[in-house]
Structure 1
């Protein structure tokens, strides 16, 4: 081989380098944007949480972990954490249970038609109906449910209660009921997305599996719990994590629906709302950043624990 000739190994290496260069050229700009607009703000938030920055001065004073020490004695902060705990327990369970029920009906609830398992009549139409709340802006949903939850007789729910002789209910003014009322709105808006998600998971399961079980005498209960649920468990796991992260948010709906932004008497406050209020109402950006850091670690911890606890052996089909 003369000098300058490229052998098979050299040609293969050159092709790989060109391929990697092509991939890097496409990833470089998105990665740079992600670092600038996502990673960088996180790093800045960690630094600001260690200062007493008021949002104005160019050189905030470093105070170490003083802001985090204040969080331990902040009753409003712990009230928000308790509300997130309730949301984490109830909201994913309710949303996933309803979405699984609807998804099963839309895909397998119609019984055997033409020798094959089918969904209920009008399944395609119902998918659109269930998904429709998902396309509405959160602010629109909040204004809509303000009219529904209005505490006097002009509210939709209280108007219906008045029609059957029951007194008005303070859906958003009762400290024991307000958070549940807002949670119901979150569930109502979220169910449609998870119906579509779980329907996609069920559609990926070969119909022969269900038909064989049906021929063996398995009813709908057995089809759901013994076949459907194990085979779409990975999809449910993803949905659970998404809903848990959503439970750490809820800022927009609480902002729009709650009385006095997190009221009454801090009965509906959540950490994103407290971060916003502390920063932009009281100009305590250092303390608000400490809350943000706490929220970051709560979210990461939840996601890691959820993936660990719900992990199962993958079933191939």
Structure 2
């Protein structure tokens, strides 16, 4: 009976495993093979160049600058998104005080959840169009229009949001954080609702304030959800292609001004489709894959804690 059970399970796993190997693993293997050649992306004729593409990456200043930008995004996007989401989730679930129910969210919390989640229903393409209007470098742009009306900015010299090397990366961060907060608010809210209310009521009876309740009760019990969110946001920070290529200026997938809005994905696609250096671009893709995997493993191990039962 046990042998028949194993054959039954193996039969069901065979097809999904085969599809995974064909459509996921095999493209990675092909990409690594192409990264060892001088393939142009169009011609079937190419030659093996070994590790020359990887060696060239270490001397490519644009690629190294893009890696640094991804590192900055990797630091700020997860931290700010998680902190803001945790704060809002805490307030709409257990941030209220008083009443017959003891512990509850702030007044109107159900409406707040809908408002915060709204950006998540928008695709990145629509998001790019909205923020292009927001970041316009004339008084027709929403930000500049407000600042000009308030007298904080001269109408003759509005702020060049996406053309300023010091602002462009921060503007991209704002878009991703604004878009992601709603999703992680729902994630953390679902996790908070699984925490027994008696724990919060006991903390309230002991005289704990909002900050003490958050750091001593909520955060430790939500740590697994925070850990998962950190990994997903790290992957988002390592990508950024859609927004960086559409919002930043520059020829061939954005990246401007003067490569200050560059990320690994934009450099990769420019080399692959614009310059015809597909083998070189494949090497970038492999480096990006390895960095993402390393960051995911480090994040999971660094944030690992003993599971708290309740």
Which residue is 1:86 aligned to? Answer: 72
Distance (whole Å) between structure 1 residues aligned to residue 114 and residue 13 of structure 2: 35
Which residue is 2:121 aligned to? Answer: 135
Asked whether 1:103 is paired with 2:89, we answer: yes
Distance (whole Å) between structure 2 residues aligned to residue 197 and residue 32 of structure 1: 32
Matches within 5 A, 1:129-278: 129-167=115-153, 168-260=158-250, 261-278=254-271
Which residue of 263, 281, 284 maps to 1:288? 281
Distance (whole Å) between structure 2 residues aligned to residue 287 and residue 178 of structure 1: 27
How far residue 17 of structure 1 moved from its aligned partner, in angstroms, is 3.2
How far residue 18 of structure 1 moved from its aligned partner, in angstroms, is 3.5
Which residue is 1:70 aligned to? Answer: 56
TM-score (normalizing by structure 1): 0.93
Which residue of 283, 297, 300 maps to 1:304? 297
How far residue 272 of structure 1 moved from its aligned partner, in angstroms, is 1.0
Which residue is 2:26 aligned to? Answer: 40
Distance (whole Å) between structure 2 residues aligned to residue 95 and residue 316 of structure 1: 26
Render the CA deviation track for 1:209-259: whole Å, top value 9, x for unaligned.
111111111111110000101111111011111111110001001111111
TM-score (normalizing by structure 2): 0.95
Render the CA deviation track for 1:285-306: whole Å, top value 9, x for unaligned.
1100000011011101111111
Q: Look up the SS of the partner of 2:88 in the other structure.
A: helix
Distance (whole Å) between structure 1 residues aligned to residue 39 and residue 208 of structure 2: 64
Q: Look up the SS of the partner of 1:118 in the other structure.
A: coil
Render the CA deviation track for 1:126-175: whole Å, top value 9, x for unaligned.
21211111111100000000001100000000000000112221111101
Distance (whole Å) between structure 2 residues aligned to residue 194 and residue 208 of structure 1: 24
Unaligned stretches of 5+ residues in structure 2: none
Q: Look up the SS of the partner of 2:103 in the other structure.
A: strand
Give the total of aligned pairs: 303
Distance (whole Å) between structure 2 residues aligned to residue 231 and residue 279 of structure 1: 45
Which residue is 1:3 aligned to? Answer: none
Q: Which moved more, 1:264-273 or 1:28-37?
A: 28-37
Q: Look up the SS of the partner of 1:117 in the other structure.
A: coil
How far residue 59 of structure 1 moved from its aligned partner, in angstroms, is 4.2
| Max Rg structure | 1
Distance (whole Å) between structure 2 residues aligned to residue 196 and residue 190 of structure 1: 10
How far residue 271 of structure 1 moved from its aligned partner, in angstroms, is 0.7
Q: Which moved more, 1:105-114 or 1:176-185?
A: 105-114
Unaligned stretches of 5+ residues in structure 1: 1-13
Q: Look up the SS of the partner of 1:57 in the other structure.
A: coil
Asked whether 1:50 is paired with 2:40, we answer: no
Render the CA deviation track for 1:50-107: whole Å, top value 9, x for unaligned.
1111112324211110001100000110010010111011111110110000000011
